[in-house]
Structure 1
Amino acid sequence: MQPPDFGIRAEPQLCFGHVRHRRLRPVVNAFEYRAYYVRLPLRSMDADAPRCALFSRNRFNLLSFHDADHGDGTTGLVEWIDALLEKEGVTDADGEIWLQAMPRVLGFVFNPVSFWFCHRASGELRAVLCDVRNTFGERHFYLLDDGFEIPNGGEITARKLFHVSPFFAVEGAYRFRFMRVVRGRKGSLAETTVATIDYEDAEGPALQTSVSGVGAPIRTATAAAAFFKYPLMTFGVIARIHIQALRLWLKRVPFHSKPAPPKQKVTR
């Protein structure tokens, strides 16, 4: 696999790709759908970027990104992530911070998971912060940090502590892998990103999920393609969650009541 070059293009991107989800036990249940998401280089963006007729930051548009949807909702995003990393002992993530999340569509968004990719100035991926949310309005942060760097395509694990689906107990562990591959020549690059999250419990592998896409700079044409090819995508996220829950209930998959959320908001 080609090593990532994190300095090639530090500009906001729209990534078009797929969400995949496959439950292995106690019944097989799989689905896949086309989707898009944004990847934003927070240190490189100015207060108004990206400049696009159909995509805005912190104001209404067909597609938009609002700082208040991330972090603590009030502090500047770079200031917030830097403070969190320092508090958790990560003091050398002084390079670009790429935030990957779904944008608002007509003002609405629900992000089951968003990722903060925290790099060193020399380009290595130092840590990843996973912001996980459930449909009960709760959220939890998993900080993935092995103390040195996360290799491109390398695996890193975290113990499951947060209730997401009522059809899985809060036990076991997640296995994360993140890949970023840049192909082509300067001026004509195609960048592919893949995030996989697999879940296993005491009985072994139980769930395989991934989000993948090919990035392009956010322009009016790419924003229009996203909005019109995938209308009301973020509304569809909520709809699909409930449709799949209904399918599992009809298949008599055991149901787990929601426990109290973990006391710690950030875990490693």
Structure 2
Amino acid sequence: MTATLYAGRLTHTRRAPLHRVFRHRLYVWLVDLDDLPTYPRWLRPFTGIVPSDHFDGPDRPLRAHVDAWLRDQGIESAGGRVLMLTSARVFGYVFNPLTVYWCLTPEGDTASVIAEVHNTYGERHRYLLRPSSTGRARTDKTFYVSPFLEVAGEYRMCLPVPRERLALTVTLVQDGRPVFSASLTGRHRGAGPRDVLRTVLSHPLLPQRVSLAIRLHGIALWLRRLQVFPRRHAVRTPR
């Protein structure tokens, strides 16, 4: 089985105009899009990875969706594996603040990375990245995520392919200073049926709880009278 679970922590740090830290224990999946895991019927309510949670359009495998999207950007498939870091559905519900796709060459090098951002309004946006050998990349912020952060500035990301450890960071820089950062860290676990059962029991109803926690965090910021930036239009599947 090529799938892997990482159990760890999500940390959001707001640096301006006030300092506030949000932390949550979680787990995420790393899967090969050409070899998605299958589980016994009794585990499937906890392991759903569904193409429609990431792409609209024809009902086809995730790998086909990724290759088609890359072609729309003028890029042919690198010819190697595509690794996807994501959350799975639990009892039919999923919340994926960030899904990352590493598009590899046949030699295992990273040709490109897709960072797919989901917000709490049911919208999503994909950033095409050309990271350095250490996984570092930059891109302008063009998608509305939080009502407390303007759609402006630059994301500075560090997205190395996970190995034994998972360590991703995204920092939003506006007017020359970091105003927000998010980090996702974790340690490798197996993804056999026993590993999955142990992980979901230690993190019950994970996507539901993460979604609720983020909304409660937003209410706390609103009560602090933090400036709200209106959401002007919805974006579902941008090119």
Letter in 2 for 1:50: T
After TM superposition, what 4+ stretches of structure 1 lie above 6 angstroms from structure 2? none
Structure 1 counterpart of 2:89, from 92, 104, 115: 104
What is the CA deviation profile of residues 141-173 of structure 1, one whole-angstrom value per residue up to 9, with x for unaligned ones? Answer: 11112xxx641x332111011110000111001
Structure 2 residue aligned with 1:185: none
Equivalenced residues, count:
238
Structure 1 residue aligned with 2:27: 36
Structure 2 residue aligned with 1:20: 11
Q: CA deviation at 1:175?
A: 0.7
The answer to whether the aligner puts 1:222 opposite 2:195 as a matched pair is yes
**Structure 1: gaps (5+ residues):** 1-9, 183-190
1: CA distance, partners of 2:156 / 2:42 = 36
The answer to whether the aligner puts 1:157 opposite 2:130 as a matched pair is no
SS in 2 for 1:114: strand
Q: CA deviation at 1:95?
A: 0.7
2: CA distance, partners of 1:87 / 1:181 = 27
2: CA distance, partners of 1:178 / 1:13 = 17
Structure 2 residue aligned with 1:71: 55
1: CA distance, partners of 2:158 / 2:168 = 6
Change (3 A) 1:181 1:246: closer
**Structure 2: gaps (5+ residues):** none
Structure with the higher fraction of residues in helix conformation: 2
CA RMSD of aligned residues (A): 2.0
SS in 1 for 2:159: strand
TM-score scaled by length of structure 2? 0.91
Letter in 2 for 1:68: S
Identity across aligned pairs (percent)? Answer: 27
Structure 2 residue aligned with 1:51: 39
Letter in 2 for 1:64: G
Q: Would you say the 8 A contact 2:102–2:161 is kept in 1?
A: no
Letter in 2 for 1:241: I
TM-score scaled by length of structure 1? 0.82
